[in-house]
Structures are given as structure tokens and as C-alpha cells.
Amino acid sequence: MTLTESYWPADTSQPILDLTPGDVLARAAAAVPDRIALAEAAPPGGALTGDGRTDRTWTYRELLDAAHRAATWLATRFEPGEHVALWAPNVPEWVILQYGASLAGLVLVTANPALREPELEYVLTQSDAVGVAYVDAFRGVDMAGVVRNVAARTPELRELIPLGSWLDELAAVEPGPLPTVDPGGPGQIQYTSGTTGFPKGALLHHRGLVTNASLVAARAGFERGGTWATALPLFHTAGCGLSVLGAALNEATLVLAQFFHPEVVLRSLEEWRASLFGGVPAMLAGVLAHPGFDGFDLSACTIVMSGGDAVPAPLIAETERRFGARFSTVYGQTELSPVITQTAPDDSPEDKAHAGRPLPQVEVRIVDPATGTTVPVGETGEICARGHQLMLGYHGMPEATAAVDADGWLRTGDLGTLDGRGHLRVTGRLKDMIIRGGENIYPREIEEALTAHPAVAAAVVLGVPDPGWGEQVAAAVIPADPAAPPASADLHEHLRARLAPHKTPRRWYLAETFPANAMGKIQKFRLRESLTTLPPLP
């Protein structure tokens, strides 16, 4: 199929799965009851819950039994449809509670363990949570104390569930009857990653989460019965959706790192002979930079999957070379459960550097941001999507939910182009577009050109106020060698050979790191606030 306008119709050749996460677990347990379903990978210092062991595993039979007991336990405290929050890093108890909540017909509210007290209070209040599960402490924070403080101000929060001894309590529970759960009903409230400010709670349904995970695993070429290793946070759809459900749908073993730690990831890949590793670009860079990388046997790893932020082409090439694996890039949004487009491992290097083709059962079009009309092939506009995985809405925010139009199209706020083959290229955020003297400039294009320079490890391009031009282009650069940063004149010439003159930054800054959220996505609004405190690039 060759497109004549920037619209990709849904490919209906693969089915929408009318299943809940609980259904997925039950099917896997029936098919491969004795296969390891879940393995804990804890960092130095030991596990955060349980008896301190760092080698806990569950077969599918054991995981289903634990989830059934959890669902029975939850059903004695909550009614189907009530909202229960989970505030913890990647502990196995998280996965057991996720499946238990699904089996009990509850809506799981996922909370970033890095939240501070006011942020947690916002999530628990805005989500209408009536219970919260949590670990006692994480990264020096007394999480139990924070929960008690918030609960004292939140009378609706009637159940506090410490996870440290929770599995011991479940062991005494006799599994009981469970409700019938509608796959089209609400399953989770996932809060947007917050790169631009206050988060919104996307209400996601079971069917969308399950089907999306199935389609992504298939596009990546993940084999049935394989091993999926990840450090992606469970509070995000890439963790509890793509990773947890992607593994279970394929009767695979999920090796779960409690949080990102390069050595734990490498050790997990080697010891478990993992065939797939999933992580955001910052995780890939961290693993590749580990001084002992070449000493690990990663020969079983055939697929590396990444997304959540722009994946630079040099990082893709280095990952494939050093892992000896093939790469798959995903693009999407939390509101879409979360993936819209994805590259295949057999795509060309040029195609892998972008966002890939739409998944089956997903429609994509590019529209003029001002008029909403579909633009010609190759022309830049706002990326819109609709399909089976679209959220039910933003919880408690009807005005924000109006971002979905009457025909079911979600305007993503991202800019991009579709080529005649249906391959998507994301060119930036609509709000990040720089207007210099009436010319529209897309930062991502400049960032990609800058990171192609061997002296540049990472770059962020921003618009800054300018009295003459309205906005001027500025760039902050992290050098590949901190002791020898590139000269701004060299980068200027590098860009002038590749881009139109008006796209070349006029202001250059030197950075050590960029502010990012828990998924590793760069927060440009925070960088913009601190830009003038950075030293100029020589």
C-alpha cells in the first residue's frame, strides 16, 4: 500500500484480545504451569520486601495461586470498581497485586515511587483511591511515614497495605469465588509522565492494555516461551503493560529488576539467558557505559526494545553491535496503552532511527494543527491516533478528555510526518516548535543532526525569547568527552552542512546532565528554567 495522504487505515489482520490481565495469567498457568513466570533481580543490598532474599521466583502455577489469594484478600476489603493505589518500585509484590486487582475487578492506580508527599497526596486524592499499597522505604525515603501523613489528611483512604509482610498474610488466605470482570471496563489509572507540569490520570481499560502488549511483542519478534528482562518501572504502561503482559501472553519468563542498575541488568541478561531486553534510551546508554559490559555473555539476547523518548541512531547502531541483537523502537503515549507505532527488527537502519509503522488495529493520521485537515504525505503536522487501545478518558477531568474528538481521534501534541509506506517520523512536540521570524523550526531535527557529531553525547534544542526574531534557537550539549567539549564553531559548521541556515543555534550551552522524569524522558520545561545557569559552550 502506497499512501497518497498522511492517513494510515487500521490493519485488522490481527485480533483484538477480549481479555483481562487476570485472564492472561490464567491461560498461561493452564498452558505452562511449571515454567518460571516471574524472577526477582535485586540490586546490591538485597530485596526491599519479603525476607530479604534476592532470588525469589514464581512459576505460573504459583503466580496464579498468589494472585487468586490476593484477589480474595482484596475482595474482603474493596468493592469491584473501587480504586486502589500502588506506590512501590519493581518488587514482585507489585505484579501479584496487579493481577489480584484485575481478578477482583478493581481499578489499579499506579504511583511513581519517586513522588514526594504533596505529589502522592495529589495522586491519591485526584484518583479517588480508597486504599494504597506501599513498601516501607525506598532510596532513603520513609514511604510508610509519608503514607501515614497523607492518610491523616485523606479520610477517603480507608485501607493502608504495607507490602513487606503482605505475602505472609496471603499465604493464610483460602482462595474464594471472584467476580466476572469486563475486558472493556476500567483496569488502571496511569498518570501522564509530567514533562510539562501537572499530571493527568488516563483511565485505561483491560482490553487495550492486553491487546497492545500482544501486538508489540509480536512486532518485536519475541518468541513464545522466551525470557524478557527489564528495569522499566511498573508504574508506567511500558512496565506493567508491555513487559508484564507481553511476557505472560507469550508464556515467557519475566526477569524484573527492582530499579535500573546497569550491573543488575547485565547480570540478569546473562544468568537468565534473556532473549529480550527492554529499556528507555537512558538505560541503554547506562548499560553500554558499564566498564564490565564486555565481560558478560549476552549471546542469548536477540532483541533490544526501546522508546519513551527519542532513540538516537548512533545509540541504536552501538546497541545492535555490542549486544549482537536486533533493535525495535516503539512510539506512543500513556493515553494509548501506550504504543502507536513500532519498528520491526528487520527494518533498515534508516527506518529504525524513527518511529516505525502503526501497529495493527491502529489508525494514524497527520493533521494541520490549525485546521485539523489531513496533510499531504511527507508534510509535517500533528500526529493523531485512534484505535482499540484508546483510554476511556482522563479521570475526573472532562475538559481535558475533550482532547479526544467526537470521532475518537486523540491529538497527541506531537509533530511528525508519514511517508508513502506508512512509516512515521516524529519531529518534535507542538509546544516545543520554535517560530523564528515567521519560520517554523522543529528542535528534534536539529538534535538528531547534533548527536551525529562524534563529540556530542546528547543535545537539547530550545526556543528562547529574542526581541528581533521573536524566538531564537538555543542548544544545550553534553559532550562525549567532558574533558574536551566541542567548540561551538565546529558544531555550527557541522549543522550548516546539513540544515538550512536559520535552523543553526545562535546560543550554545554546556551541560553535564539533562533533567528527566522517571522514564528517562527529558523535561524541557525544567531545562528552559535553568538554561541561563549553564556555562556557554566554548
Q: What does the DSSP assignment read for 264-299? A: HHHHHHHHTT-SEEE--HHHHHHHHT-TTGGGS--T
Domain containing residue 258: CATH number: 3.40.50.12780
Judge if 373 and 490 occupy the same domain: no
Answering whether pTM is above 0.75, one says yes
Judge if 382 and 484 occupy the same domain: no
In a domain? residue 427:
no
In a domain? residue 57:
yes
The secondary structure element, H or E, covering residue 143 is helix 143-152
In a domain? residue 108:
yes
pLDDT of residue 49: 61
User: Under DSSP, is residue 405 helix (H, G, I), strand (E, B) or coil?
Assistant: coil
- Domain tally, the chain: 2
Judge if 119 and 28 occupy the same domain: yes
Judge if 348 and 461 occupy the same domain: no
In a domain? residue 538:
no
Q: How many whole angstroms separate alpha carbon 373 and alpha carbon 347?
A: 30
Q: Which of 393, 418, 443 is the last residue of a domain?
A: 418
**Enclosing domain of residue 49:** 7-402+413-418
In a domain? residue 438:
yes
Judge if 58 and 126 occupy the same domain: yes
Judge if 453 and 393 occupy the same domain: no
Can you say whether the dihedral through the CA atoms of 11, 12, 15, 21 is positive or negative?
A: positive
Judge if 269 and 365 occupy the same domain: yes
Q: Which of 353, 384, 418 is the last residue of a domain?
A: 418
Phi, then psi, of 339 in degrees rounded to 5: -95, 135
In a domain? residue 407:
no
> Which stretches in the chain have pLDDT values below 50?
51, 194-197
In a domain? residue 424:
no
Domain containing residue 498: CATH number: 3.30.300.30
pLDDT of residue 310: 78
Residues across the chain = 538
pLDDT per residue as tens digits for the range 316-343: 999 999 999 999 999 999 999 999 999 9
Judge if 268 and 349 occupy the same domain: yes
Judge if 17 and 88 occupy the same domain: yes
Q: Where are the beta strands (DSSP E) in 81-128?
A: 83-87, 107-111
Q: How many whole angstroms separate alpha carbon 233 and alpha carbon 193?
A: 12
Cross-strand bridge partners of residue 507: 474
The secondary structure element, H or E, covering residue 475 is strand 470-479
Q: Which of 418, 453, 472 is the last residue of a domain?
A: 418
Q: Which residues contact 462 (CB under 8 A, 6 or more apart)?
A: 432, 434, 443, 473, 474, 475, 476, 524, 527, 528, 531
Judge if 262 and 365 occupy the same domain: yes
Judge if 394 and 449 occupy the same domain: no
End-to-end CA distance of the chain: 50
In a domain? residue 91:
yes
Judge if 15 and 76 occupy the same domain: yes
Q: Where are the beta strands (DSSP E) in 192-314?
A: 201-205, 227-230, 253-257, 276-278, 303-306
